[in-house]
Chains A and B, each alone.
Chain A
Amino acid sequence: MSYIIVDGISKTFKVTKRNSGLKSALKSFFKREYVLIDAVKNISFEIEKGEIVGYIGPNGAGKSTTIKMLSGILLPTAGNIKVNGMNPFADRRKYVSNIGVVFGQRSQLAWDIPAEDTFDLLKDIYKLSDEKYEKNKSELVNLLDIGEIIKKPVRSLSLGQRMRCEIAASLLHDPKILFLDEPTIGLDAKSKKIVRDFILKINKERKVTVILTTHDMMDIDKLAKRIILIGKGQILYDGSLEKLKTKYGSYKKITINTKENISDIKLKGIISKEKIDNGYSFVIDSNIITISKFINYLSNRYSINDMDIDNEGIDDVILKLYQDYEI
Chain B
Amino acid sequence: MKAYFNYFKLRVITNLQYRAAALAGISTQFFFGITYIMLYLALYESNTSANVPMDLQSLVTYLWLQQSFFALIYPFLKDQDLLKMIKNGNLAYELIRPQSFYFKFYIKMISERLVAASLRCLPIIIVGLLLPSPYKLGLPASVESFLLFIVSLSLSCLLVSALSMIIHIITLFTIDSRGIISGYSVIAEVFMGAVIPLPFFPNFLIKIGNYLPFRFIGDFPYRVYSGSISVIEGRNLLFGSISWLIIAIIVGYLISKVALKKAVIQGG
In this complex, what residue of A is CB-closest to B97? A125
Is residue B20 contacting chain A, with contact meaning CB distance below 8 A? no
In the complex, identify which listed stretch (B70-78, B131-139, B213-221, B258-266) lies at the interface while the others stay far away: B258-266
Cross-chain contact A97 with B92 (CB below 8 angstroms):
no
Cross-chain contact B98 with A126 (CB below 8 angstroms):
yes
Cross-chain contact A97 with B268 (CB below 8 angstroms):
no
Is residue B99 contacting chain A, with contact meaning CB distance below 8 A? yes
Cross-chain contact B93 with A125 (CB below 8 angstroms):
no
Cross-chain contact A72 with B264 (CB below 8 angstroms):
no
Cross-chain contact A103 with B6 (CB below 8 angstroms):
no
Chain B contacts for A64, CB-based, 8 A: 268
A-B residue pair count with CB separations less than 8 angstroms: 57
**Cα distance, A114 to B90, chains bound together (Å):** 19
Cross-chain contact A125 with B3 (CB below 8 angstroms):
yes
User: Of residues 60 to 107 in B, which have CB atoms within 8 Å of A's CB atoms?
Assistant: 89-90, 92-93, 95-100
Cross-chain contact A106 with B93 (CB below 8 angstroms):
yes
Is residue B178 contacting chain A, with contact meaning CB distance below 8 A? no
How far, in Å, is A178 (CB) from chain B's closest CB? 12
Interface residue count for A (Cβ, 8 Å)? 26
How far, in Å, is A214 (CB) from chain B's closest CB? 14
Cross-chain contact B90 with A94 (CB below 8 angstroms):
no
Cross-chain contact B90 with A107 (CB below 8 angstroms):
yes
In this complex, which of A71, A74, A97, A107 has the most chain B Cβ atoms within 10 angstroms of its Cβ? Answer: A74
Cross-chain contact A73 with B95 (CB below 8 angstroms):
yes
User: Of residues 153 to 188 in A, which have CB atoms within 8 Å of B's CB atoms?
Assistant: none
Is residue A105 contacting chain B, with contact meaning CB distance below 8 A? yes
Chain A contacts for B207, CB-based, 8 A: none
Chain A contacts for B97, CB-based, 8 A: 96, 125-126
Chain A contacts for B89, CB-based, 8 A: 106
Chain A contacts for B6, CB-based, 8 A: 121, 124
In this complex, which of B3, B93, B99, B100 has the most chain A Cβ atoms within 10 angstroms of its Cβ? Answer: B93
Cross-chain contact B265 with A73 (CB below 8 angstroms):
yes
Cross-chain contact A106 with B98 (CB below 8 angstroms):
no
How far, in Å, is A16 (CB) from chain B's closest CB? 10
Cross-chain contact A75 with B261 (CB below 8 angstroms):
yes
A-contacting residues of B (Cβ < 8 Å)? 2-3, 6, 10, 89-90, 92-93, 95-100, 260-261, 263-265, 267-268
In this complex, what residue of B is CB-closest to A108? B93
Chain A contacts for B2, CB-based, 8 A: 124, 127
Interface 0/1 of A35-64, CB less than 8 Å to B: 000000000000000000000000000001
Is residue A92 contacting chain B, with contact meaning CB distance below 8 A? yes
Cross-chain contact A101 with B99 (CB below 8 angstroms):
no
Cross-chain contact B99 with A93 (CB below 8 angstroms):
yes
Cross-chain contact A101 with B3 (CB below 8 angstroms):
no
Given A96-B98, A103-B93, A106-B89, A121 contacting B3 (CB threshold 8 A) = yes
Chain B contacts for A108, CB-based, 8 A: 93
How far, in Å, is A249 (CB) from chain B's closest CB? 30
**Cα distance, A224 to B3, chains bound together (Å):** 36
- Listed from nearest, the 9 A-B pairs whose CB atoms lie closest are A124-B3, A108-B93, A97-B98, A73-B95, A125-B3, A96-B96, A75-B261, A101-B96, A93-B98
In this complex, which of A101, A103, A107 has the most chain B Cβ atoms within 10 angstroms of its Cβ? Answer: A103
**Cα distance, A68 to B93, chains bound together (Å):** 10
B96 CB contact (under 8 Å) in A13, A73, A105, A107: A73
In this complex, what residue of A is CB-closest to B13? A113
How far, in Å, is B159 (CB) from chain A's closest CB? 26
Is residue A99 contacting chain B, with contact meaning CB distance below 8 A? yes
In this complex, what residue of A is CB-closest to B95? A73
Chain A contacts for B96, CB-based, 8 A: 71-73, 96, 99, 101
Chain B contacts for A96, CB-based, 8 A: 95-98
Query: A103-B92, A127-B2 given. 6 additional CB < 8 A pairs?
Result: A13-B264, A92-B95, A96-B96, A101-B96, A103-B93, A107-B93
**Cα distance, A101 to B265, chains bound together (Å):** 15
**Cα distance, A94 to B263, chains bound together (Å):** 20
